[in-house]
Amino acid sequence: MKNLKELKSWKRGQDFLGVEYPIVSGAMTWISDSKLVKAVSDAGGLGVLAGGNMPPELLEQEINTLKEQNTSYAANLITLAPNYLAHLDLVARLKVPIVFFAGSFPRRAEIRAAKDAGLKTICFASTQSIAQKMISYGADALVLEGSEAGGHIGHVSTIVLLQQVLFNFPEVPIFVAGGIATGKMTAHLFLMGAAGVQMGTIFAMAEESPAHMKFKERFKKARSREAFATPQYDSALPVVAVRALKNKGTNEFGKLQLELLEKLKNNEISRVEAQYKVEEYWVGALRRAVQDGDIDHGSLMAGQSVGLVNEIKSVKQIILDLVKEAEDEISKVHTLLMDN
């Protein structure tokens, strides 16, 4: 097997996504807009529109923009967002080709609603048991996302999830995410059986990314160890860990947790209200960093792969470089295996 495109796993990802390269630009709130999605899809990958908690009318406008441009695309829905059910109805009505369920885990009926509308459904699997459940609910494919990823993360690393999920559920295409930023790693994931890869941090730095230049420049200089996961201070306030570059904003989040825990102790706020306050913080902090360039107090959500990315390039060049490096690695592996 000398060629990347001869791999059955590569072909499986191509066919499922309907793209030339089974490389997915993960949905990033405030970053993955219709322009970035189109740039990725035009370059042969799959761009995923970030639904976030966008007003439904704005999400509809973004989807219609992509439909009018006749480009491949997908939409990412956050199951914890207040507008989630409205978003689900919207993507079903507009016949979005592929929908990613993110944030938490969708109910069986929600996956069924998307499938009944003719949509392909992809769910995230942060553990083996969740992968099993999502498949039993009818998910057409999975994203195995390790804790090396940026933004909201699970607790298990990519290297362990490969063994727990990728190797154990051959019945559905599995896309791998978390800590990926090179063509070499991409090649080896396809050799392991992955149907594709999902990357976020590398595309957040693309020329077409709407992120503020200060945001991108901070990423260029960052080391992998700077992208750390925020801790949960007390089980009384369950929070999903967020991986981001440490700055004053992460310290402010720590203070917010302490304030909310005190209010919970004094029965001044419910746990649900406290969790909403946490999410409001991250949404606002991310907007300040991405749109306003506030790299001190805003949220610099980044995966540990940020230490592997030190250039701002066009989306097209990013994908071409990834594919070229992956093809070279496949040839190298072939030579090693065939060498006497």
Confidence of residue 11 (pLDDT cuts 50, 70, 90): very high
Residue 37, domain member (yes or no): yes
Residue 246, domain member (yes or no): yes
Residue 85, domain member (yes or no): yes
Mean pLDDT of 272-298: 88
User: 97 and 193: one domain?
Assistant: yes
The whole domain housing 289 covers 223-301
Q: 42-86 pLDDT, tens per residue?
A: 999 999 999 988 899 999 999 999 999 989 999 999 988 888 999
Mean pLDDT of 304-317: 96
Q: Which of 26-30, 90-94, 273-277 has the lowest mean pLDDT?
A: 273-277
Higher pLDDT, 340 or 298: 298
Residue 216, domain member (yes or no): no
Residue 217, domain member (yes or no): no
**Number of domains comprising the chain:** 2
User: 11 and 86: one domain?
Assistant: yes
Residue length, the chain?
340
* Neighbouring-strand partners of residue 244: 228, 301
Residue 53, domain member (yes or no): yes
User: 75 and 166: one domain?
Assistant: yes
d(CA 120, CA 101): 11
User: 158 and 234: one domain?
Assistant: no
Q: 161-193 pLDDT, tens per residue?
A: 999 999 999 999 999 999 999 999 999 999 999
**Residue of 256, 244, 224 lying closest to 295 (CA atoms):** 244
Q: Residue 192's pLDDT is what?
A: 97
d(CA 147, CA 179): 8
User: 273 and 331: one domain?
Assistant: no
Q: What CATH number is attached to the domain comprising 133?
A: 3.20.20.70
User: 160 and 178: one domain?
Assistant: yes
Global pTM reads: 0.92
User: 115 and 241: one domain?
Assistant: no
User: 119 and 50: one domain?
Assistant: yes
Phi, psi of 68 (to 5 degrees): -65, -30
Other Cβ atoms within 10 Å of 228 Cβ, number: 16
Higher pLDDT, 250 or 308: 308
Residue 340 has pLDDT above 60, yes or no: no
* pLDDT, mean over the chain: 93
User: 200 and 243: one domain?
Assistant: no
**Residue of 138, 213, 211, 146 lying closest to 171 (CA atoms):** 138
Q: Residue 280's pLDDT is what?
A: 81
